[in-house]
Amino acid sequence: MSGEKPIYKIGITHGDLNGIGYEVIIKTLADNKLLDICTPIVYGLSKVAGYYKKNLQIQDFSFQYIKNAGQSSQKKANLINLSENEIPINMGESTDVAGKYAEMALRYACNDLKNNAIDALVTAPINKNNIQSEQFHFTGHTEYLASVFAAENPLMMMISPAVKVAFATNHLPINEVSQNLSKELIIKKIQALHQTLLKDFGCTNPKIAVLSLNPHAGDRGLIGKEEENIIVPAIREAFDQHINAFGPFPADGLFGSGNYSKFDAVLAMYHDQGMAPFKILADNEGVNYTAGLPIVRTSPAHGTGYDIAGKNCADEQSLRSAIYLAIDILRNRKGE
Cα–Cα distances (Å) from 11 to 118, 152, 315, 324, in that order, read: 6, 24, 20, 13
Asked if the model's pLDDT at residue 1 lies above 70, the reply is no
Q: What is the pTM of this model?
A: 0.93
Lateral strand order in the sheet of 244-249: 63-66, 77-81, 38-44, 8-13, 120-123, 297-300, 287-291, 155-159, 164-167, 265-268, 207-211, 244-249
**Domains located in the chain, CATH noted:** 1-153+285-336 (3.40.718.10), 161-282 (3.40.718.10)
What is the tens place of the pLDDT at every residue in 139-187?
Answer: 889 999 999 999 999 999 999 999 999 999 998 999 999 999 999 999 9
What is the tens place of the pLDDT at every residue in 38-54?
Answer: 999 999 999 999 999 99
Close Cβ partners of 271 (under 8 Å, ≥ 6 residues apart): 167, 169, 170, 171, 172
If you average pLDDT over residues 64-77, what whole number do you get?
Answer: 95
- The pLDDT, as a whole number, for residue 59 is 83
**Do residues 140 and 290 lie in contact, with contact meaning Cβ atoms separated by under 8 Å?**
no
Q: What does the angle CA 46 – CA 328 – CA 82 come to, to the nearest 5 degrees?
A: 15
Asked if the model's pLDDT at residue 2 lies above 60, the reply is no
Asked if the model's pLDDT at residue 3 lies above 90, the reply is no
Higher pLDDT, 285 or 304: 304
- The pLDDT, as a whole number, for residue 36 is 92
Selection from 325, 324, 260 nearest residue 290 by Cα: 325
Q: Choose the weakest-confidence range: 5-9, 16-20, 200-204, 209-213.
A: 5-9
What is the tens place of the pLDDT at every residue in 220-268?
Answer: 889 999 999 999 999 999 999 999 999 999 999 999 999 999 999 999 9
Asked if the model's pLDDT at residue 276 lies above 50, the reply is yes
Q: How many CB atoms lie within 10 A of CB 152?
A: 8
Q: Which residues partner with 265 through β-bridges?
A: 208
For the chain, what percentages of helix, strand and coil (3-state, to nearest 5) are there?
Answer: 40, 20, 40
- The pLDDT, as a whole number, for residue 283 is 83
- The pLDDT, as a whole number, for residue 57 is 86
- In whole angstroms, what is the distance from residue 51 CA to residue 48 CA? 5
If you average pLDDT over residues 132-140, what whole number do you get?
Answer: 91
- The pLDDT, as a whole number, for residue 176 is 96
If you average pLDDT over residues 93-106, what whole number do you get?
Answer: 97
